[in-house]
Structures are given as C-alpha cells and as structure tokens.
Structure 1
Amino acid sequence: MSNVHQLHARSPGGFTRMDNDLYGALIRADLSGRELRVALAIHRQTAGYNVSSARIAASYIAEMANIHREDVSRIIGELLRQRVIYRDGGSKAPIGISPVTEWKIDSKNVRKSENKKEPQCGVSTTSLVAFPPHNKERNTNLTANAVVAADASTGEAFESELEQQATPDPDQPAPAKADRIPYSRIAEIYNEICGEVLPKCLKLNDKRKRLIKGCWNLEINGVYPFRKGEFWTAYFTDCLKSKHWTGDNDRGWTADIEFLTRQDKVLKVLEAL
C-alpha cells in the first residue's frame, strides 16, 4: 500500500476516480476498441471534473482518442444507440455515461464450442442481409461528400458483411433487389437515433419504402454508402444537427423519416460535410 501512496504523491497530474461497477462493466463490455476509447474519453471529461454530463466537442474527443472526427460522430451515435452514454437534447447537448443497468450492447463476438461444418451460404447475425460467404474483399472507403469514411481495418462485421452483400462484384456493383433491402432495420436505426427528437416511424408504407430504396441505390463515386448499417446511423445523427429540422422554427415543424430519406435532402446533408 505504501508504494501506491508514493506513486500518487509523485504524480503531478492527479487521477480520475471510476466507480468499481462501471470499471468492471467496461472491462466486460463487448465494445469495439474505438467505442471503448470514446466512452473513456467521455468519462474523463465528466467524472474527471465531478460532473455527470458535459458538452464535449467531437473534435476534442477525436484528439483525445486519436480517432478521426467523422468516426467519432458515428461512434457516439452507436454508443447512444447501445445506451452506454446518454444525451439530453439535440446533437450539441451534454453527454454522459449511462447507468450500467441501462446498457444494451450488441453481441459482437459470439463463439460456440462445438465444431461446425463449412456452410454453403452464410447469414450474419449482425448484417442487415444475407450474403455469399466467399466474396472478394473490397475497400470501399467513402471519402468525398460522405458522412463517414468507413475503416476496413475495424473488423466490425455489421459494415463489412453488408458491403459484401450489396456489391458482390468489386468491379461491377449492381443495384440491390427491392426485396433484399432491410427496410425494418433501417426504420429501427431511425427510431433509435431520432425517435426522441423527431416523430417515430411506426409503420413502413409503400412511399417510405420507395424513399428508402432510393437511398439504398444512391451511388456516389462508384460506392453505395447507404448499404452500410453504420452509414445510416451517421446520416441520421448528422440530420439532427439541423435546428430547423428539429423544431427550431416559427411553426414548430419537425422532419420525419419520409423527409430525411428524400434524395434532395440526402444530398443536401452529404454535400454540406
């Protein structure tokens, strides 16, 4: 114990206290490496200053965690969806670490002990759609006029498996069939990101499906960005940055899923970045 006290006495920078339950939960949490780094950065900027929540710029978290600014916005959206962190209000409202009992973290690394035969056709539990298991790997990072720059090295199956299904031929990406588009999952992402600020999507009618299909088949620089699950999360998160769309107008009007999936509005958001 004396060594511990001596170490603290020699440390000029002080230290941040962490609740033991939170510490244990973060150790056990099935978060990606970058999700954990962003969560720790938020904890440092809240608990480190004895506050439960604070306004923290994504650029500041990016500098702390050594992650690109665009990726930080996407990761914050994922942590909000999984309830690891909370935010009171719009995209610039204070954020903080949620109680551990409220966390709803996706299972990313599920392994079974028994040996399994090689499947003829694989179905991902995290991807939006089924996909052939032997497609060639392809780097389709979107860098121009995009909400996120997908990092192929993250190893997150949700994004890579969806990209493989959407573009089976790396040189000739073909439009997806309408019945293969995961309308329900896209509506769920909208409700998770926007449901507390904008009207929730309670039903997918033909018009809404037609608008979602238009986004799904939107090609930018040879890439179909909306065929990546994380792109939808980042896109809806960026839509909340518009004060006019979130009710700050003389009518109290707010956007909904139909408005945000109109192609002219989609391009307006992407081209503004």
Structure 2
Amino acid sequence: MSNVFQLHASNPGGFTRMDNDLYGALIRADLSGRELRVALAIHRQTAGYNVSSARIAASYIAEMANIHREDVSRIIGELLRQRVIYREGGSKAPIGISPANEWKIDAKNNRKTTATKEPQCGVSTTSLVAFPPHNKDTNTSTTSDEVVVDAKRQPGAVPEKVSRTKQDACPHRAIVDLYHEILNELPGVALINATRIQHLQSRWREHQAHRDLAFWREFFETVKASDFLMGKVEGRFNTKPFRATFDWLIAPRNFVKVVEGNYNA
C-alpha cells in the first residue's frame, strides 16, 4: 500500500510549501534538534501564510514545538545569532527565515578524527584479549562540594578538584555590561554589590535557560521594547512615569513579570 498522496489545492488539511534550496539547507544544517524544531515552527507560521515574516509569540512556538517557553526564547536568540532567522527590529518585532547563504551556524558535531589510543591495561602475550585496569588504580570518589577529576593514585599525586560552585558561577559583570549596552537610557550600575550579586546568582541558577547570556540579551531587549518599563508612559493622574532600574529588574517577582510579559501598569 502506497503512503504517497497527491497534494491538491482542495486538500482540507492544507499544506506548506518549502523552497527546495531551503529544504536542503535545513537538512544539512548542523542545528540541534530543538533549534530545528523552532526554525520549522517559524517557517510554518510565515511561509504557511504566504508571508516572509510575522509576529510570533514565543508561547505559541513553545506549544507547536513542545518546548518550554523560556527555552524557546533562548533558542530564538541562538538562531538570530547564527543568522538562521532574522528580526525586523526589537524583541517583539516580526521574525522570518533568513536566506541559507547568510547562515553562520556553529559547528557542533564536526569532531576531528583522532588516532585511537591504546588501552591502558595489561595485554597477555598469548592472547589478544585486553584486561581492564584494576579498580584500585582509579579513584572516582566525590564529595558534596567538589568533583575529583582523573584522580590516579600515584606517589605524591594530588587529585585535581573542580568546584561545583565555580561551575555554576554567574557572570555578573557580563550581565551588567549587557544591561548598559541595551538599556543605556535607564539608570546605570556603578557598583556590583553583595545584594546584586546574590540576586543575579539566584536568577542564573533558578532555571537552566537563564544560564545563557543570549537569554539575558533577549530579557533586556524585552525591557527596551516596553514603553512602560522605559518610563515613556505617564502614570495615573499625571504622576511621574515609572522607569525600571537594574535592581527592580533582577528582583524575584519583577523578573518573573518581565519574562512572562505581565509588567504593564
């Protein structure tokens, strides 16, 4: 039984046409599975309606691609950086698929072929069977705060330890630099004090999507696109307009409001 069906204009289910060059480029593209799903969702919402670009909410893409909304925002940032998609303006502007010849995709799976290393084990002179090293030769113990890396018991050798705290460290300065770059109309940050470090560290650790500077760039661009947060909307009864500050943005409740788009007066 054939599973090939002819597509007709009267097909009640409809169909989305895709340029053959774009189709081939997506097949060859070294994108992650989630990046490809988001790109296809954007293509569906643009080419599927015969438009080159459209305003597409991250929540809608999340539903289509079955990906968490905050992860979608991060992935859109990655696709923009790699020029797979483009945006016509700020963070809420229409997006579309870029021409394949403009793509600058990171090489994720291009691993150089290296010579196979000989196994570190004893080899019988009468057999080709390799015997694995004894367990006593390798120490794989760990503690709650540190990870032991390649700790071989040799006379005088000290195991190399990597602190989990360092692995999860928040790039405070880089985030503040992004704030100054994108939101230069808002009050600047002159001092990264203990309170700010604590709040940034908490926001960085509370979700995997936050541990990416691309997320923070989109976060600040969302703020820039809001007339309310930028102090361009007059308050009630002609009161002074509200204007966000760095401390306000990284406070727990306010941070969630901005991420979820629930920050209007």
Map of 2:30 onto structure 1: 30
- Counterparts of 2:109 and 2:11 in 1: how far apart (Å)? 37
Kindly indicate whether residue 149 of structure 2 is the aligned counterpart of residue 168 of structure 1.
Answer: no
The match for 2:130 is: none
Which whole-Å CA distance do the structure 1 matches of 2:48 and 2:31 have between them?
22
Shift of 1:11: 4.7
Contact persistence 1:135–1:168 (CA under 8 A): no
Rate the CA distance shift 1:49–1:218 in 2: closer, same or farther, 3 A.
closer
- Partner residue of 1:249 out of 202, 216, 232: 232
% identical equivalent positions: 52
Letter of the 1:219 partner, please give it: Q
Cα deviation per residue 1:7-35 (whole Å; 9 max; x = unaligned)? 32495312211111111111111111011
Q: Partners in 2 of 1:109 and 1:51 — Cα distance? A: 33
Q: Sort the Cα spacing of 1:233 and 1:225 in 2 relative to 1 into closer, same or farther, 3 A.
A: farther
2:56 aligns to what? 56
> Residues 187, 103 of structure 1: CA spacing in aligned structure 2 closer, same or farther, 3 A cutoff?
farther
Secondary structure in structure 1 of the residue aligned to 2:86: strand
Task: State the secondary structure of the residue aligned to 1:110.
Answer: coil
CA contact (8 A) 1:58 1:73 kept: yes
AA paired with 2:51? V
* CA apart distance, 1:182: 9.5
255, 258, 261: which is aligned to 1:270? 255
Displacement, 1:57? 1.4
Deviation at residue 181 of structure 1 after TM alignment: 5.7
> What are the residue-to-residue correspondences of 1:148-167 with 2, within 5 Å?
none
Write the letter of the residue equivalent to 2:217. F
Give the superposed CA RMSD.
4.5
Contact 1:226 1:232 in 2 (8 A): no
Post-superposition offset of 1:226? 9.6
Counterparts of 2:141 and 2:77 in 1: how far apart (Å)? 29
Aligned to 1:115: 115
Matched, 1:220 2:202: yes
What is the CA–CA distance in structure 2 between the aligned matches of 1:30 and 1:246, rounded to whole Å? Answer: 38
Find the partner of 2:216 among 219, 235, 238.
235
Alpha-carbon separation, structure 2, partners of 1:111 and 1:246: 45
Which 5+ residue runs of structure 2 have no aligned equivalent? 119-139, 145-161, 234-242, 261-265
Q: Go from structure 1 to structure 2 and tell me whether the alpha carbon gap of 1:135 and 1:239 turns closer, same or farther (over 3 Å shift).
A: farther
**Taking structure 1 as the reference length, what is the TM-score of the superposition?**
0.57
Residue 249 of structure 2 aligns to which amino acid in structure 1?
A: K
The answer to whether the 8 A contact 1:85-1:98 is kept is yes
Bigger share in strand: 2
User: Equivalent residue of 2:232, what SS?
Assistant: coil
Deviation at residue 50 of structure 1 after TM alignment:
0.7
Distance 1:227 1:29, change over 3 A: same
The Cα offsets for residues 113-148 of structure 1, whole Å up to 9 and x where unpaired, read as 122669xxxxxxxxxxxxxxx997x9xxxxxxxxxx
Amino acid at match of 1:168: S
Q: Which amino acid aligns with 2:7?
A: H
In structure 2, C-alpha distance between the alignment counterparts of 1:44 and 1:238, rounded to whole Å:
25
